[in-house]
Structure 1
Amino acid sequence: MLMSDGLLRVFWPYDLPRSTSPGVIVGWRNSELDLFVLSVLEDVEPRNVENALRAGILFRNSPHTITQIFSLCGRSAMHVLGSTNARTLPATFNPSHLHVTTSPSCKVPHIFCPSETNISIQIIMFSRPHPTRMQYMSLDPISLALGDKQPIAGRDELDSVDTEEEQEKARIAKLVEKLKLHTVVRHVPSQKEQVLPIILNQINCAFETGKLLERNSKLIGTRVKRSMSVSERVIESASTLRDLFVLGVSYVFWRWIWPVITRCFVIGLLCHRAVAEIILQILEWRARPEAAALKDISATAQQVDIRLQQFCYWPIQYIKLRQRKNNWESVTTSHPDYIRFYNSLWLVANDVIIGIALGSYIIDNAHWVAYQINIILNGWTVEGLQRTISWLMGWPAGLKLNKELAAFLGDLFLWVIEHWAAFIANLQPYLPHLIYFVGCSSFAGASMPVALFSDLLSILTIHIYSFYIASARIFNWQLSIIISLFHLFRGKKRNVLRNRIDSCDYDLDQLLLGTILFTVLFFLLPTVIVFYLAFTSARMLIISLGAALDTCLAFLNHFPLFALMLRLKDSRRLPGMIEYFYMLFTCVTSFI
């Protein structure tokens, strides 16, 4: 029975032969008027092709079971959809058997459909993805993150600390879902949208299935020749003395040598995994549940953690890639793993190559690099900071500060800087050796010296961080006291239990003492603000340098280099242009 919309939809591959020879169209029949063409078999009869499909002759010598292709494509059997370049055209239109005319000069086939049938024809041309080249189409973009890693032992105890946070996230997710129910933008997916993934699976399987049908088309109407047995193949391959020698050597290698090599390699992987797990546990150890782990504090520890996780995950990824050889190439579930695996390998290889070049330069110029770092440390973090504090102790930019408070804070900070300068002077003889060690670590990748420099930046500027924390605490305490005294001056107080401002009756001596303290602290506030802004600016500059180094680490560890290369080399190996295909496929009706 014809569909009510009166529209015949035919999916036709671009790369099908456009010869003038007669042929038989084979494909999927999604519904009465929704047809998907897989291949055109020439020089065969439609009846013989139909019988071959029922008997499974066209599926012989398939690398894997054909039922999996049927399951992916959402169909239980293939059908003969029509004929091409028939000698005589029928008098009436029959949707169960199309008559198509093709020619080398016309890219789009012409379907015989008289105007009195009142049926419109829509031919959707598509390029079949080449599964051997790992080309495929997908509705979802791939993710290069290691999202399916194996859980690390002991991680459950650490995750239990974040129970409240997870509950809060679940509550917010429920609220978001309730909000989606009341929006006018959201709509229930139609049957046409639900059938789109099956159409994409049919497109992904079209090339491999079509080639299988074309290879077996020669078996239609002929008797299949019996293949040689294993003993016959052995006798044929060992017909000469040279073949016997090669066969004996290969037998010894695969029977005795190769198992030993693989067993040693597996033992090495297990030892590496055990050591890596121990180091990962050390990097994730926390003194208290709410305390930060070592990898959260140190950039070097975090870099080691990333590399160890990658090394532990590579065997799992490789096993997945090996398993895809046991399945049809049209099955695209392993393609993201392939891209993630080689993207990770390429990033590590580039990291090591850049690290060797960088490490060679640092090792050859260790004394010069140490000398430059020493000049920067003394010029910016010691002498420059001393000049800034001395300037703040006067009248900075014409501001008249409290002389006594500025002198007290300045002398305190200068005293700390003098002790820090003595520490830097004691460190100076060992600085070339430290730079040499950083250069040697570059042979593990350029990310290691960058991480070490980030940690050195944090360690060698710890006095600035201390000044920032001290000035921020003083400013916070003073501002909090001023706000409390301002409420007292207005006859109010803050109710901590109810988190609100209430009225309060104060005695005269309380009001007088509060007014005096408010006045003193308010006039001392500009001096504290000036020191706070100075150290905050210095801290922000250090944070900016650290952020630049972290950005370099992010590029070295997570840049999608292999994916971009695939995009430039063969964009069909990455899911893309799905919006365009979605507009084409929205016309597809539901399956019958």
Structure 2
Amino acid sequence: MSGTSVISKVFWPAHACTPRMRPGFIIGWNVRSFTACVAAVVSDVELSDLEAALSTFAADTHTAFAQMSKVCAVPPIVLGVFTGRGGKRAGGKAGVPEMFKSEAVTEKKQSANLWITIEMLDNYMPSLSSIYCCGFHYPHVPTEIIFYHQPNPTHLQYLSLEPLVLDVSPDVQPAEKPPQQGGQQQQQANERDVTTLRNMQRVMSHSRKVTGGGGGKEDAGDMEIVLNQINTSYYLEKGVSALLRRARRQRRRPFSDVLFDFLSALLGRLLLWCARVLWSPLLRPALVHPIMLVLFVVRFVAEVALFLLNVRLPKWAMNGVAIKDLSTAAQQVDLRLQQACYWPWQYMLLRRRNWANMATTRAQYISMWLVANDIIIGVAVGSFLINNSTYVAASLHYYLDHYMVDSLESMIDWLMGWPAGLKLNSELDKFLGELFLWLIRMWTVCMASLRPITPTLIGLIGLSGVCGASMIFSLASDLIAFMTLHVYWFYMVAARIFNWQLTILFSLFNLFQGKKRNMLRHRIDSCDYDLDQLLLGTILFTLLTFLFPTIIVYYLTFATVKPCWCYFPPSPNGDTARLPESLSSVCHYAAIQGPREAAWYVRA
């Protein structure tokens, strides 16, 4: 390494390190000074034809490359030549193909801002053999060759400094730090992303550490530009190759065929111009305006439904919960209506955005595919439910009768004796046991009238599969919640009695301490009680204390049973239970990012 203060960086595609690579011209971008991003090596072409193809391709506004090239900072150019492996001459130098000795290549080397010559070593690794800048040769320049796997944008592969955010709402800002909470898989994914980002930043700042120079902000800016160029390299390579193949075919074709193609293209443009002239004054009002009217009506109905679903009940009814919180199906309808209102904006964003934020663009596309996957799975599950509605209904009633009726009756009969050797209050134990058994018998009679129409309900739930698998699971959860409503009643009765008794015991305990609760100041103050008050409090406290074990046994029993069910309606205190994660996560599949391996580098 010489004492020069410059260092060159060359980003090289990994698929170009194969024995099949032939000598050719290197195309890509000159990022800054001696930093270059190579997109491809083009063989069997003249320099003038390649430059013409690059100009034509970069100027075409109808290709995907035209949108992505806006964030590449500089246009693509011919960076130099790739000599391949070749043979060794007597002097020990690699043999240079004759096509690189032409006058056009020599003039380009003298006038280009950057002209590099790269040869292939015996281990199929590229090596920078010479570098020219404005005609001056820079010998013994330290070089970093950084390899990258070329992402395929058609497969939603890309490299980005920003993590993928699936929340595509316009108000969401990208997080600066990875989340500190989450599952083990999420934590491992965050660690991999942080490691990849750290490695990429270390690659870009390596030359600054070697030479002792500054430029941290410039390195960070170069990293974003280089990643955008790498993401665009696929379109550049495929597009230039297609233009060159088309140009070769044009040369081989007779003049009559070329003239025919020219006239056909001219006729097509004329017809397109006529269609545009007729579209605006005649066809557009007749087609677009009715469609816009229908969309407006649909959007209005969706907004009204969203408003009704989010209306809160009065405080005396379910403690003021929203209507959508009464059912998981209502929550799913609320979500789908929000998506329906959001999709037009999302579609226009996908059609018009300039690809400046690759992570956000891919998240927009992936979020739409998540809904499509949900609908596909929903149609499959719905078809199964429709074709097997009788069997599913019979199985559902069998398991509900076994676990929700017979097992509960056996458990209550066990509690009415001496459960686990506990001697409960006989009168209170008998009263509570008979109360719960009466509720079970009443609910069994109610469910008997529902049994004949259960297959029809299962079929209707299957038809809802056109709205997605999440809608099927939501309706199934509501159906099971309704069929197990008596279990929720048991829990609420036991919880209410337990809460009342515990509150009274706490108040009587304050009475023994000579204190009472000040409702105005929300605190406990000292108070003097009469003898009659203390005597009555002692009697009530003793009575409730002896009854408390019986109450707590029933409460703990049903409080233990409660988490076993999939879903419970909202409680009167305002708490709303929800579906378990396995059901609610049906629309939240793990998004697959682009290649995680960002880059590795070799010191030349």
> Could you state the TM-score of these two structures normalised by the residue count of structure 2?
0.66
| C-alpha contact (below 8 Å) 2:10/2:38 kept by paired residues | yes
Structure 2 counterpart of 1:404: 427
Structure 1 counterpart of 2:145: 123
Are residue 394 (structure 1) and residue 420 (structure 2) matched? no
> Structure 1 unaligned runs (5+)?
151-186, 239-243, 568-573, 588-592
Partner of 1:408, secondary structure, is helix
| C-alpha contact (below 8 Å) 1:101/1:110 kept by paired residues | yes
Are residue 101 (structure 1) and residue 118 (structure 2) matched? yes
The separation in 2 between residues aligned to 1:430 and 1:508, in whole angstroms, is 59
1:201-243 alpha-carbon deviations (Å, 9 max, x no partner)? 11112232345556678999xxx99x989993378789xxxxx
Q: Identify which range, 291-300 or 197-206, moves more after superposition.
A: 291-300
Give 1:351's match in structure 2, choosing from 347, 360, 378.
378
Trace 1:127-526 onto structure 2 (pairs within 5 A). Answer: 127-145=149-167, 147=169, 190-191=216-217, 192-211=219-238, 232-233=263-264, 269=295, 271-288=297-314, 291-323=320-352, 334-362=361-389, 365=390, 370=393, 373-424=396-447, 428-445=448-465, 447-492=470-515, 506=529, 508-526=531-549
1:378-421 alpha-carbon deviations (Å, 9 max, x no partner)? 55444543443343233222211122322333344444444444
* Aligned residues between the structures: 507
State the Cα distance separating 1:126 from its structure 2 match. 1.6
1:295-324 alpha-carbon deviations (Å, 9 max, x no partner)? 211122233334444455555544445547
Partner of 1:142, secondary structure, is coil
State the Cα distance separating 1:352 from its structure 2 match. 1.0
Give 1:577's match in structure 2, choosing from 585, 591, 596.
596
Structure 2 counterpart of 1:31: 32
Structure 2 counterpart of 1:179: none
Identity %: 35
| C-alpha contact (below 8 Å) 1:57/1:219 kept by paired residues | no
The separation in 2 between residues aligned to 1:361 and 1:68, in whole angstroms, is 50
Cα gap change, 1:276 to 1:537, in 2 (>3 Å): same
Cα gap change, 1:347 to 1:260, in 2 (>3 Å): farther
Give 2:589's match in structure 1, choosing from 543, 559, 565.
559
> Structure 2 unaligned runs (5+)?
84-95, 132-137, 173-197, 202-215, 570-576
Partner of 2:503, secondary structure, is helix
The separation in 1 between residues aligned to 2:417 and 2:37, in whole angstroms, is 85
The separation in 1 between residues aligned to 2:385 and 2:529, in whole angstroms, is 70
| C-alpha contact (below 8 Å) 1:12/1:124 kept by paired residues | yes
Partner of 1:107, secondary structure, is coil
1:482-503 alpha-carbon deviations (Å, 9 max, x no partner)? 2333344345555666666666
Partner of 1:110, secondary structure, is strand
Structure 2 counterpart of 1:156: none
Trace 1:4-83 onto structure 2 (pairs within 5 A). Answer: 6-16=6-16, 24-40=25-41, 59-61=58-60, 63=62, 71-75=70-74, 81-83=79-81
| C-alpha contact (below 8 Å) 1:321/1:337 kept by paired residues | yes
Are residue 112 (structure 1) and residue 129 (structure 2) matched? yes
The separation in 2 between residues aligned to 1:450 and 1:66, in whole angstroms, is 43
Partner of 2:169, secondary structure, is coil
State the Cα distance separating 1:526 from its structure 2 match. 0.5
Q: Which amino acid aligns with 1:285?
A: V
State the Cα distance separating 1:515 from its structure 2 match. 3.7
State the Cα distance separating 1:455 from its structure 2 match. 1.7
1:89-128 alpha-carbon deviations (Å, 9 max, x no partner)? 99xx9996454233496532221269x9664221001232
Cα gap change, 1:311 to 1:49, in 2 (>3 Å): same
The separation in 2 between residues aligned to 1:543 and 1:353, in whole angstroms, is 22
Q: Which amino acid aligns with 1:8?
A: S
The separation in 1 between residues aligned to 2:413 and 2:26, in whole angstroms, is 90
1:59-109 alpha-carbon deviations (Å, 9 max, x no partner)? 45453699866641234x55654444457999xx99964542334965322
Cα gap change, 1:206 to 1:383, in 2 (>3 Å): closer
State the Cα distance separating 1:199 from its structure 2 match. 1.9
The separation in 1 between residues aligned to 2:568 and 2:4, in whole angstroms, is 67
Structure 2 counterpart of 1:183: none
Q: Which amino acid aligns with 2:313?
A: A
